[in-house]
A and B are shown apart, each in its own frame.
Chain A
């Protein structure tokens, strides 16, 4: 291996310098220094390639996936990224690369036209508008990006094997730098190399046709050789550059060859031949590394063309090549930096005109960014390869052709190098980092190559080899991909461009899409076709979802979505029950509560209808409540209604309607209270207080409305209607105790009247439960008050108590009163009892007993509930004589009704 490479190196040295200048004028000068700084001399010497190899293989694998996985297998790609951040990193890098690619074509053209030396001056022109002053660009681009990626190159060399994107990048950078170094060493001319490698092809300049043929595998012999040079150079360089390095590479070979060879052969890709020939040609042993050669040079070597230019003969051919290849080559020509571009054509261009390698670049750099560059050197070296425009630019080139091989270039950029390098060469738009994935399929391929290299285990050499090897591999890959899916590149390319313009968010979107695709195997294919996917940004989607969720927000789920709410509650309750039965749930007490997150209250602006006061001809606004009047009926009715009878009837009607409406209002209030209660149930504890207030206020309103203080008739009229009685029955339990008691008191006061009206249909009974409940909880004072009401209402001779006990509701009430009296007496020690109340109560009981004695048994009505305790109470309060009189009748209250 060494030998092969070494021969190439010398050739490269001469031709390359020139070529390199063309390609990457900026970098040349300080490369040596930088390399030393970055890698130190020791590295080369003490390099443990095995160790390195292990590290590399890990890194490379990761890198490969990242770079290459994307185009063909989205899933892998995704998996490789541990996190989104990583992904972003990658995407940004790729963006830079892409930009470079785009710019490259223009640059290439320019470069071709201009001699290398001029280039420096013309940099601005070359780069075009997109790239501000070349120097600025370089500084700009290199410094920010490169630092991150490349920071402390020396350390990198020793980095632990942990796989990490950054590390990968570093490694790549190193490799790139190393390669460049090595290349510089060889003093041989390309010619020599060629001769060695390809006996038959000596000194003959290849024409574009030849190249093409070779690429296609037709005329393999001559062309293939050059290519191998190009590719191989990396390995060769390494050895050549430093004694130790050279040795290492030689050792490496075992792992090295096998993987590539098969692929190349099968395809006949130009690369394929490369590997072999170099070996064969090894003859030129360890070309002494003259001086560090810029990475560009390295690139140049790879391409057969490059080699050609070095030799005078080649020069002639070069023009031809240029013309023909120009379309493809543009990227290479001027930007040579990218190793991937190694394409023969580009090399030629550079080679002939370019001055000695080191000078041009160095001069450029020195002026502005040298200082920065030095630190970043490693990066730069790598950069050039990155910057190289991919196959995309070439588009149509034959699959196997060197041009297609863009892969190599990509490899560098695809890896860590991409961003920094690109900056100087390709005028990548500084702002346009984001396009993450856009990276064309082509570029990534290089990475795979890189993998193989590391395996070879060259340590530094690895890297270099790696990068080179990467190129070769890339080429192969490209060949594959192109062969399989010619359109793919274009599509990808297209996408890439679009991506460029996208911003961060877009990247994310892309990412998501990828993911999506990941799930569907077909997606990848589809995706390449479906350039319109993701027209809706995540933001927009979120927005719609929010809108849809807002529609579901409710303050009162019972009201807004009663059926759903009830249904879910029911379902949950069933689940609960099941779990309880299974014993999984212990807390049987805990009730199901519907919890609604407290929602931001919607602004409730009270609706104010437009007021058009004083406006001529008032606007007629009609609504459900105030429909537009089509016919004015009133004027006709008035005269009629004034006549006698009909008027009375309508008056009656109106009154009853009025009453019904009032009761309806009462119900409305009641419903409001219900709503509030439901709301309260749905709210967490803390949020309930204000609603409790509301409820209390509403009940007070309701109470006032029913009681209508000072207007007994109102209450009676309500109570005269069944609906009204029901309302009272429903409201009673809700009221506060005092309010409820007041109401019961009112009820008792009017008991006689109500019972009179109630004859027949025991409509009062609907009140029974509510009233009984109130009585059962009242204290003695209230009890006495109730009793007094019954007594007092006797005013008009029709003793209320007597009437009451002849009515089921009434008798029930009285019965309950007595029972309550007994309970109170039984539970309170006589000492604690208020004497006055006690005596009043006794008085009532006595009266009751007296009435009971008078009323005929037949007219007595059984109460709904019976209380045996009444007998005891009588025993307690009445004399035995009286008790004996009413004993039978009392039984009515104490014992269940016997079936008559």
Chain B
């Protein structure tokens, strides 16, 4: 069974003067262990789709199942709790908490989950080693490069043992070399530990590394190909 099932999803923004149809009749199913890119030109609806799959926003119509839970049935603190335990997020602009060290950033999620101090310290250290930052545990984000910050973000996303990790244009702010390193880390985690990654991008080098490419155009799925 697919871990994510998107059924005839529509998203219309009508908070401004003009209505914008960002997504139109999206049907998609994603299985555990996928390494999938959502691609398409700017404005095609990539972010909107990821936000909906991430439970950050509600669709205008249609529904999304994650595991055996329908996201539209979750409201308020239940939805927040669902995200905490099931979904990992990586953002384009890293979004680490500036007052926390790399280690504390990774620990934070586990702390919210109620993991014991000892265990979360152990796991956070492991994860930072895993993304190649074992020696930067005590650095604040401002002391890390963009690529390093994004790898901390990946470690943070992994910390909660989520069902899948959503990454909205994770390499958009990175140079070629950092992009390469980040993708290597993500690929390794996917291959060795079966972590499911869904990421959006319009960078051809990133697209080339994906094993499945969903192409969006004006809110429609134009193509869905497996490499």
Q: Do A and B come from one complex?
A: no
Interface residues in chain A, defined as those with a beta carbon under 8 Å from any beta carbon in chain B? none
